[in-house]
Homo-oligomer: A and B are copies of this chain.
Amino acid sequence: MSDNFVKEITNMEDDFAQWFTDVVIKAELVDYTEVKGFIAYRPYGFAIWERIKEYEDTEFKKRGVQNIALPMLMPEHYLTTEKDHVEGFAPEVAWVTKGGEKELEEKLYIRPTSEPLFCRMYSKWLKSWRELPFLYNQWCNVLRWEKETRPILRSREFYWQEGHTIHATEQEAIELTLEMLDVYADTIENLLAIPVLKGKKTESEKFAGAVDTYTVETLMLDGRAIQAGTSHYLGQNFTKPFGVKFQNKEGKEEFAYHTSWGTSTRLLGALIMAHGDNRGLKIPPKVAPIQVVIVPVATNKEGVIEKATEIYNELKGYKDIRAELDLREQYSPGYKFNYWEMKGIPVRIEIGPRDIENGECVVVRRDTLEKMTVKLDELNETVVKLLDDIQQNMYNMCKEVRVKRTNVAHNMEEFEKEINENQGYIKAMWCGDPECEEKIHEITGAKSRCIPYEQEHIDDKCVVCGKQAKDMVVWGRQY
């Protein structure tokens, strides 16, 4: 690799998709493998995912959710039992037809999601209302045989959590559905520093088999959207065909009310595309595996390595700061600055002989690239404050992008103009007819992101057909 990683990364403005691919490969988050559509998570990429997992898992457990683990393979007839589900998933599952040396009697498919299996197990475990709710989740790999793939964002195999709960009443199930959406919103806003748009999916965009799908939508730097997490109220759509029934308080048999909700390694994709610049990644401090990197300058001079090591030891013991010291001999300081900037480390500390003489060091923040001189005896406290400040500032910068890229359309002319000029979200009224939705997609490439919780009255009429509008919908092109 050359000293200048910037040259090796395509400019965002020239080709954002290529910028993304360049960054995830060069920053060593992931790599291609020899099987098309499958990627390898390298330590840096996986460490970020582990932090997301840990954060969400803690939040789930606070709410009484327990982890379980179900098989990755299901028999073919599970897939075909629920009619919308099979339509949605059959085209993209991988089939196991041979186990050991024997052809299987019934083909098995690798889970693309596990509603049928959860329901089969629930039907076995559930007897009485007294045992409800079941609040179970699993962290696992799933597989969807996508035709077009893209590292992290759309890999054939990906990692996720799928929560599946069953309840004695519809109301309780719906409440849980919404509560889990709030957990996702919290994770994305507070950990990943990305503002979310909360809402309900339209009929055409909901999960295959759901009554209602709720979503948290995020907007990337280029104005395209990523659906970052979804929570589904499934009613009895799966519990009926899969026989998940119980004795209710009145002693009568009833089918349970079901939810499912998931977030995946796409969150990592959103994290990258919502922040970052032409130098590479910007990782928000809370989720960064390394928050501060110390790069000594002129290490041949007496005392530099010692001082850098001293600073490192003091920092990493201070209020859980995650610090790293770069003592690699084969690289110049300039190389290292670029290297760690590309990796998106929130704070860099540079320390050389003159700094040591003056009892200070240079601190550079990744979000703004601002440089400051800091007294060594104030360093620890400065870094702690700086990390908080960067986390907040990254959120604000991201919100600013969203504000700039959110526009209103009263008719299709405005819609086309806005989406072509500004990309981003378009707020527009909709009559509720899937045909109008489809027309928008055909003309502009945008899909409905959601019917936001927070409604505004923009117009009386549907942006497409001009008939009486029902809801304000946010539209956008997506990854």
Instruction: List chain A positions with a Cβ less than 8 A from chain B.
Output: 31, 33-35, 38-43, 46-47, 49-50, 66-75, 91-101, 108, 110, 117, 120-121, 124-125, 130, 136, 140-141, 143, 145, 147, 156-157, 159, 328, 330
Contact = CB atoms under 8 A, between A and B. Distances in A.
A34 B93 CA distance: 19
A458 B118 CA distance: 55
A19 to B, nearest CB: 22
B101 A94 contact: no
A94 B98 CA distance: 6
A257 to B, nearest CB: 20
A67 to B, nearest CB: 5
Given A41-B68, A97-B97, 20 more contacts: A31-B121, A35-B108, A38-B73, A39-B71, A43-B66, A46-B66, A69-B159, A72-B143, A91-B101, A93-B100, A94-B96, A94-B98, A94-B108, A96-B97, A97-B98, A99-B145, A100-B145, A130-B330, A140-B141, A141-B141
A42 B71 contact: no
Q: In this complex, which of A73, A99, A110, A125 has the most chain B Cβ atoms within 10 angstroms of its Cβ?
A: A99
A35 B74 contact: yes
B136 A100 contact: no
Main secondary structure of the interface of A (DSSP, over half): mixed
Nearest to A70: B40
Nearest to A39: B71
A157 B72 contact: yes
B136 A43 contact: yes
Nearest to A117: B33
Copies of this protein in the complex: 2
Given A43-B136, A93-B100, A100-B145, A71 B38 contact: yes
Contacts of A46: 66-69
A92 B33 CA distance: 24
A303 to B, nearest CB: 25
Contacts of A100: 91-94, 145, 147
Nearest to A57: B50
Contacts of A94: 73, 96, 98-100, 108
Contacts of A140: 141
Contacts of A96: 94-97, 110
A319 to B, nearest CB: 20
B145 A33 contact: no
Contacts of A147: 100
A223 B68 CA distance: 31
28 contacts: A31-B121, A31-B124, A31-B125, A33-B120, A35-B73, A35-B75, A40-B68, A40-B71, A42-B68, A43-B66, A43-B136, A46-B67, A46-B68, A69-B159, A71-B157, A72-B141, A72-B143, A73-B157, A93-B100, A94-B96, A95-B96, A95-B97, A95-B99, A96-B96, A97-B98, A100-B147, A140-B141, A141-B141
Contacts of A69: 40-41, 46, 49, 159
A74 B136 CA distance: 31
Contacts of A39: 71
B159 A34 contact: no
Contacts of A99: 94-95, 145, 156
A268 to B, nearest CB: 11
A40 B73 CA distance: 11
